[in-house]
Amino acid sequence: MTTEAYFDGGCTCRFVRYRLASKPMFVHCCHCRWCQRETGSAFALNALIESDRVEVTHGAVELVDTPSQSGKGQVIARCPACRLALWSHYGGGGRQVSFIRVGTLDDPDAFPPDIHIFTCSKQPWVVLPEGALAVHEYYKSSEVWPAASLERRRALFPPN
Ligand SMILES: [Zn+2]
Ligand SMILES: [Zn+2]
């Protein structure tokens, strides 16, 4: 019997601590202008995981409505004390999917990107590794995700 590892993370002031019950379904490195602005950096690294696999083990998050590039909006889970952003729920996946900000994990090296998205606005000095999966804007998960991750996604959003 195998036990899946868990992954802990938290904010800078350590009021919020959380635990992922498994590895994510997929990891995005997003080079869109919105992520650049929100992070103050060149890209955002988001690990997509079922929200019921995200347990707040200490403190509580504050959910802040925020505009998003899609126009559908996003909800950002922030520490109410230091205001650091821990994860987002985006319009498409709703509250059932959490986009964990990989840099808030205790071991942020654990989840390198599976795909680079919105490379149309990638900052020119960022050089992607040879052979990295990259798309100009967005993509269809059905064409890219591994079967096991698609299975998890189907469990979240059963076909009618
Ligand atoms: Zn904090
Ligand atoms: Zn983005």
Q: What is the DSSP string of 19-31?
A: EESS--SEEEEE-
Q: Reply yes or no on whether the pLDDT at 3 is more than 80.
A: no
Dist CA 95 CA 120 (whole Å): 28
Measure 32 CA to ligand 2 centroid, in angstroms. 4
Q: What ligand has the least distance to the C-alpha of 116? A: 2
Measure 30 CA to ligand 2 centroid, in angstroms. 4
Enumerate residues with CB within 5 Å of ligand 1 (an ion): 11, 13, 15, 79, 81-82
> Which of these ranges, 19-28, 67-76, 119-128, 142-151, has the smallest mean pLDDT?
67-76
Average pLDDT rounded to a whole number, residues 97-117: 98
Q: Reply yes or no on whether the pLDDT at 53 is more than 80.
A: yes
> Which of these ranges, 28-32, 59-63, 87-91, 125-129, has the smallest mean pLDDT?
87-91
Mean pLDDT of the chain, nearest integer? 94
The count of other CB atoms within 10 Å of the CB of residue 73 is 12
Measure 38 CA to ligand 2 centroid, in angstroms. 9
Q: What ligand has the least distance to the C-alpha of 42? A: 2
Q: What is the pLDDT of residues 135-145, one digit of tens each?
A: 999 999 999 99
Q: What ligand has the least distance to the C-alpha of 84? A: 1
Measure 142 CA to ligand 2 centroid, in angstroms. 20
Dist CA 96 CA 139 (whole Å): 20
Q: What ligand has the least distance to the C-alpha of 56? A: 1
Give 4's pLDDT tier (boundaries 50, 70, 90). Answer: low
Q: Reply yes or no on whether the pLDDT at 1 is more than 50.
A: no
Average pLDDT rounded to a whole number, residues 102-112: 97
Per-residue DSSP letter, 134: B
**pTM for the structure as a whole:** 0.94
